[in-house]
Every structure is written in C-alpha cells, then in structure tokens.
Amino acid sequence: MTSIPARTGKQLGLVIDLDTCVGCHACAVNCKEWNTSGHTAPLTDFSPYGAGQDGVWLNRIHAYEAGLGADSRTVNFPRSCLHCAEPACVTVCPTGASYKRAEDGIVLVNAEICIGCKLCSWACPYGAREFDPDQGVMRKCTLCIDRIYNENIAEAERVPACVKACPTQARHFGDFADPNSNVSQLVAQRGGVDLMPELGYRPTNKYLPPRPRRTTVPAARPAEPTPTGTANALLRWVDRALSR
C-alpha cells in the first residue's frame, strides 16, 4: 500500500467544458502523439492495420445522449485521469509505482517498478488507466509532466498537449489550490462539478456542465404590421424615403 501526501503544494489539473466540446478527438490524438514519444513512451498500438485495432490512450472521448425526443441533446465527454486528492489507485499499489506528487498533486506511475498487477485500474472508478500488455505496465495521463515544466518549450506553450491542441478551448489547465487561478475562477463562474463526488475520491479535474438550451421568444416589441394581402403590403414601401 502506497501513501499519498497529506496535502500538496500546487493542485494542478484540468477544467473540461462540456458546453463547447464538439467531440472532435483533437485532444485525444494530440495526447497520443505527444506521449507516445514522451515520458510514457511508447503508447503501444495493437493490430494497427487489421481487425480488432486498439491501443493505449491516455484520453478518450465518448458521446452520450441525454433526454428524449426533441429535448434530447448530445454531450461529448472527454475522459482522462482526474488526479484525485484521494486516489485509491495510489493507495492500492503494492510496489509504490503509483504515486501522487507532493509538489503539484499529479498522479503518476513509475514504470520502472510497476509490475503490471492492474490493481490500480480496478481501484479507479473513472476508467482512467490503461494497461499495456506489450510493455507490461500501466499507463495514465501525466498532465504532460514533460511539457509543463519544460524549459525547452516556450513558456506560453507549457501546458498539456490536449490543452494546447483543443480547437474549441474546451480544456483549461491550472492550479486549483489557487482560488484566483483561471481554473478556479472558471469553476466558480460556471458551476464546475466533480464526477461522482459520492465516491469520495475528490477529483481535481472539474467539468463545466452544458448550458441550458435557449428557445425563448425575444422581448416584446410593438405589434407587428399585418397588412391584408400582398398589394397592400407593397403599398407600405411606396413612399419610403430612401437614398442611394
């Protein structure tokens, strides 16, 4: 059993905006592309050109429908590690490979001592971990640990690959320990929520819910002209003063 820090300095994570996510998979593929050659290399692909094609992804996009008939709506839902404050995936790890960093709260897997027992993936209720049977290790989102502090990358681009790629700005990266940070502010303004809070994992990542549909009638204005018949309607414009 691996311990977790009592508290972390920073609390880094993501805000994911379900109101603007169009389900385009840009974040997932860019994540795959960055990380397959990065700290967690490789993200193996099985049967890449045959039947049963599958691979290791640190981020996957699902689409759900909510509601019935004309009231239904499609919600695109990106799913990755939530970097919980109470990560059971860490506490169940028998070797200490799964750990939560004290300095920033990021949950990582030390591949060198991961024995591939998969206890952590059983412990994660969010399905955020993916096992690579070829490499024999567990993979998961690192918040691009090799990007966010990387002095070889321009400062403005030191964000996770998914955040940098997202064309609809549905992903935001920041420090939840700071109430004034971009992510804390977004959560406050838009009513960001925890996924399955009742389980008590206290996820760091937050999701912004879709805004309600808007099918309202505009403010009342004076009664509209209702001329009778086409000829009368045209008469309205006969003496209209217009200038070319």
Partner 1 sequence: MTTPRTTGIANPVEHLDPSPAVSDAVKPTTCYMCACRCGIRVHLKDGRIRYIEGNPDHPVNKGVICAKGSAGIMQHYSPARLSKPLLRTGERGSGDFKEIEWEEALSLAATWLGRIRETDPKRLAFFTGRDQSQSFTGWWAKQFGTPNFAAHGGFCSVNMAAAGLYSIGGSFWEFGEPDWHNAKYFLMFGVAEDHDSNPIKAGLAALKARGAKYVAVNPVQTGYAAIADEVVAIRPGTDGLFVLALVHELLRTDRIDLEFLVRYTNAAWLVIDAPGTAEHGLFARDAAGAPLAWDRARNEAVDAATAGMQPAVVGEYLLADGRTARPVFHLLAERYLDGAYAPEAVADRCGIPAATIHRIAREMAEVAFEQAIELPQPWTDTQGRRHETMRGRPVAMHAMRGISAHSNGFQTCRAIHLLQMLLGAIDTPGSWRYKSPFPRPIPPGAAPVGKGAKPNTALPGMALGFPRGPEDLLLEDDGTPVRIDKAFTWEAPMALHGMMHTVIANAHAGDPYRIDTLFMYMANMAWNSAMNPADTARMLTDKDPATGDYVIPHVIYADAYASEMVAHADLVFPDTTYLERWDCVSLLDRPIGSPEGPADSIRQPILPPDRDVRAFQSVLVDLGARLKLPGFVTETGAPLYRDYADYIVNHQRSPGVGPLAGFRGADGSKSGVGEPNPEQLQRYVANGAFWSHHHPPEALYYKHANAAYLAEAKALGLIGSTAQIVLQLYSEPVQRFRLAAEGHGPIQPPPADRPRILAAFDPLPIWYPPLDHAHGPDSAYPLRAVTQRPAAMYHSWHSQNAWLRQIYGANRLYMNRATAAALGIAEDDWVWVISRHGRVKGQARLMEGLNPDTVWTWNAIGKRAGAWGLAADAPESTRGFLLNQVITEFLPEDAGGTRHANADPVTGQAAWYDLRVRVEKAAGPAETMPQPSALRPPPHMRPGPDILRYGQAAE
- DSSP-based three-state secondary structure for 12: strand
- To partner 1, the closest distance from the beta carbon of 195 in angstroms equals 15
Q: Which is nearer to partner 1, 150 or 185 (CB)?
A: 150
- To partner 1, the closest distance from the beta carbon of 128 in angstroms equals 17
CA dist 173 and 142 (Å) reads 13
- To partner 1, the closest distance from the beta carbon of 176 in angstroms equals 19
User: What is the amino acid identity at position 169?
Assistant: Q
- To partner 1, the closest distance from the beta carbon of 96 in angstroms equals 5
Of positions 118, 127, 134, 182, contacts partner 1 by CB under 8 A: 134
Options 8-16, 66-74, 172-180, 181-189: segment touching partner 1 (CB under 8 A): 66-74
Tokens of 167: 């064309």
Q: Which is nearer to partner 1, 109 or 128 (CB)?
A: 109
As beta bridge partners, residue 208 has 17
Residue 141, interface with partner 1 (CB under 8 A)?
no
Residue 39, interface with partner 1 (CB under 8 A)?
yes
Q: What is Dmax (Cα atoms) for the chain?
A: 88
Choose among 83, 120, 114: nearest CA to 97: 114
User: Which residues 196-235 are close enough to bind partner 1 by CB under 8 A?
Assistant: 199-201, 210-211, 213-215, 217-219, 221, 224-227, 230, 233-235
The residue count for binding partner 1 (CB under 8 A) is 105
x/- track of binding to partner 1 for residues 75-104 (CB under 8 A): xx---------x-x--x----x--x-----
Residue 136, interface with partner 1 (CB under 8 A)?
no
Tokens of 222: 């004076």
- DSSP-based three-state secondary structure for 46: strand
CA dist 123 and 162 (Å) reads 25
Inter-residue contact 89 to 120 (CB < 8 Å): yes
Of positions 70, 155, 180, 189, contacts partner 1 by CB under 8 A: 70
DSSP 8-state class, residue 96: S
As beta bridge partners, residue 193 has 207
Rg (CA), the chain: 25
Residue 125, interface with partner 1 (CB under 8 A)?
no
Residue 180, interface with partner 1 (CB under 8 A)?
no
Options 8-16, 153-161, 172-180, 181-189: segment touching partner 1 (CB under 8 A): 153-161
Residue 182, interface with partner 1 (CB under 8 A)?
no
Inter-residue contact 112 to 5 (CB < 8 Å): no
- DSSP-based three-state secondary structure for 184: helix
